[in-house]
Amino acid sequence: MDKDILLWEETLFRNREVLELEYVPEHFAHRQSQMNALKFCVRPALHGARPVNALCLGPPGTGKTTAVQKLFEEIAVHSSSVVTTHINCQMDYTRYGVFYQIYRSLFGHSPPSSGISFKRIFEKVMHGAVEEDKVLLVALDDFNYLFAEKEVDSVLYSLLRAHETCPGARVGVIAILSEPALRYVFDPRVSSVFQPEEVAFPLYSRNEIRDILNRRVQLGFFPGVVSHEVLEMVVDSAERSGDLRVGIDLLRRSGLAAERRAARSISCEDVSSSLERSRLVHLAYALRSLKADEVLVLRLAAERESSRAGDLYSAFQQASGAGYTRFHEILNKLDAIRLIDTDFTGAGSRGRSRVIKVRYDPQEIFSRTS
């Protein structure tokens, strides 16, 4: 039997989990200054005081979520008085959804499945935290989804002003935002108490990308599966995209492509054939959160190289019968989650008009929303 042929029961992967996007590495490299800044913000909580709020800012795939997850792991080891909750705002974007998750973290089980109001769940959480002498630390990941759903003020107000209705409540927020250019003005009652410390997560350098991906290769594949040439191809792709997740996903897909060929190592052709799908990890992730009318607006925008908001609304209204208020909300959401660009011009009939452009190849949008 040809020794270069992979047998059906054999695999190239030493540990597939290491090459999943959700994997939290034991060794978290090249983000020590950001970790130190976050530890400074939560230090008061370890001594029973309210944490300093933080805002993690940076492009996708720069380690923001992993930094917070590593921070929460360390807190769990060193303190039983701080209850941490990591919330994916793509899934839980209302204040009820946020407090539902905090309730689970605090009490170790879900609240009743029906018949419990937000007021009741809020009171149970805050009074429970005070009675048990717990500090609550809440990470709002994909924070931009709260802007898109117009829930950001109500969520932050409920968290950060809880001590006014429940004396002794101590709550801190870590917001994770991948769209630093997002245009939003907080309610004054929120901005007066949020005032976060900004923690910047810049793009990884090429050497940092190579170091991180090489470590994933060593942990995720058996020796000899990934050559230096193949690794450099993957590093090139991750650097061009500005998103480390592209490189991690590309390693995984290339490994699967090599196994499909029953090869004992990954070839450059495996990388090339896998690149297109890995390059669009953000698009696939963002599309999962869209409702049917939001997909409709995105597809209508993708049909045109660019379009004015008024023209796009006419097409949307004709297809769905929905009003302009809903259309405006959808545009803001698609902009907030980085699926479209909306730039103002001075050429509208009322002085200003928004020009809408999709950020991705229209065919990629159509193929993933059909």
Which CATH number characterizes residue 261's domain?
Answer: 1.10.8.60
Do 74 and 119 fall into the same domain? yes
Do 89 and 56 fall into the same domain? yes
Element (H, E) at 26: none
Do 157 and 60 fall into the same domain? yes
Q: Does some domain include residue 21?
A: no
Do 191 and 231 fall into the same domain? no
**Domain's final residue, options 250, 279, 308:** 279
The pTM of the full predicted model, rounded to 2 decimals, is: 0.83
**Domain's final residue, options 152, 172, 200:** 200
Do 66 and 163 fall into the same domain? yes
Do 181 and 36 fall into the same domain? yes
Measured between alpha carbons, how far is 155 from 175 in angstroms, rounded to an integer?
A: 12
Do 245 and 128 fall into the same domain? no
Do 41 and 184 fall into the same domain? yes
Total domains present in the chain: 3
Measured between alpha carbons, how far is 262 from 110 in angstroms, rounded to an integer?
A: 46
Which CATH number characterizes residue 155's domain?
Answer: 3.40.50.300
Do 57 and 193 fall into the same domain? yes
Measured between alpha carbons, how far is 251 from 95 in angstroms, rounded to an integer?
A: 38
Q: Does some domain include residue 27?
A: no
Measured between alpha carbons, how far is 161 from 170 in angstroms, rounded to an integer?
A: 9
Do 153 and 38 fall into the same domain? yes
Q: Does some domain include residue 42?
A: yes
Q: Does some domain include residue 230?
A: yes
Give residue 308's domain range: 292-369
Is the Cβ–Cβ distance between 72 and 79 less than 8 Å? no
Do 65 and 148 fall into the same domain? yes
pLDDT per residue as tens, the chain (370 positions): 445 677 777 899 999 999 999 999 999 999 999 999 999 999 999 999 999 999 999 988 899 999 999 999 999 999 999 999 999 998 898 999 999 999 999 999 999 877 789 999 999 999 999 999 999 999 999 998 898 778 999 999 999 999 999 999 999 999 999 876 666 788 899 999 999 999 999 999 999 999 999 999 999 999 999 999 999 999 999 999 889 999 999 999 999 999 999 999 999 999 999 998 888 887 887 888 788 999 999 999 999 888 899 999 999 999 999 998 899 888 888 887 778 888 766 454 444 678 999 988 899 899 888 8
> What angle, 0 to 180 degrees and rounded to 10, lies between the N-to-C axes of helices 228-241 and 244-260?
140
**Domain's final residue, options 258, 279, 300:** 279
Do 252 and 189 fall into the same domain? no
Which CATH number characterizes residue 333's domain?
Answer: 1.10.10.10
